[in-house]
Amino acid sequence: MKLTDKVALVTGAASGIGRESALLFAQNGARVVCVDLSADLNAATATQISEAGGTAFAVAADVSDADDMERVVAETVQKFGRLDVAFNNAGIMHSDDGDAVSTEERIWDLTMGVNAKGVFLGCKYEIPAMLASGGGSIINTASFVAVMGAATPQIAYTASKGAVLALTRELAVVHARQNIRLNALCPGPLRTELLMRFLDTDEKKERRLVHVPMGRFGEAAEMAQAALWLASDESSYVTGTDFMVDGGLSAAYVTPEG
């Protein structure tokens, strides 16, 4: 199994990509720490792992709170003795997120706090733990919109994911010789509750899908497979990448120069 003997921390583990990744990591041998603000659903993910014969425990935490993230990593190391993989995946997409004119400052601050600051705080506390463990792999969830912009306006979300890309690239360079790899997973449009709630009309859904060469929304389980590869030693020479898993969207609309 790809993650045998590894300890993996997954944020946003209550649903979507995070939940599917936590389950898949466990199926591949990892001891998994499930982290989410939604305590009951997060605990349900950990319970499902345990009932399937895996090893997991749940920690309720707000990724935008420094004390919470410091505690999460400390509890991980206390329980399992090390940290090898961190998937900083927790994120929000607010229904009131629009263009620069219509989006309220509080929506901007909330989105940046979870999506960008949450990744920063994860890395802040995960990296020292990984250094003590001899290295590791950090995967940060960005998005195709960070590279291309979104057809449906969502300025705070897009900007926050752009910040994740920049942060990931810099930390990948800084820690490359310390055996810590950092990569940004950039999903295309997914059939998750998060996006379907945002694209709340058929018109919005079609406007997003018309740009996807494969003609369908991706699945959270497909993103989990990509995260598993980045987490495993099979990607040992991969760091600092914007790993596009987008049904061909970026290939159709982004030129080689940009």
Question: Mind telling me the catalytic residues?
Answer: 157
Domains of the chain: residue spans and CATH: 7-245 (3.40.50.720)
Instruction: Read off the pTM.
Output: 0.94
77-92 pLDDT tens trace: 999 999 999 999 999 9
175-228 pLDDT tens trace: 999 999 999 999 988 887 777 777 777 777 777 777 888 888 899 999 999 999
Q: What is the 3-state secondary structure (H, E, C) of the chain?
A: CCCCCCEEEEECCCCHHHHHHHHHHHHCCCEEEEEECCHHHHHHHHHHHHHCCCEEEEEECCCCCHHHHHHHHHHHHHHHCCCCEEEECCCCCCCCCCCCCCCCHHHHHHHHHHHHHHHHHHHHHHHHHHHHHCCEEEEEECCCHHHHCCCCCCHHHHHHHHHHHHHHHHHHHHCHHHCEEEEEEEECCECCHHHHHHCCCHHHHHHHHCCCCCCCCECHHHHHHHHHHHHCHHHCCCCCCEEEECCCHHHHHCCCCC
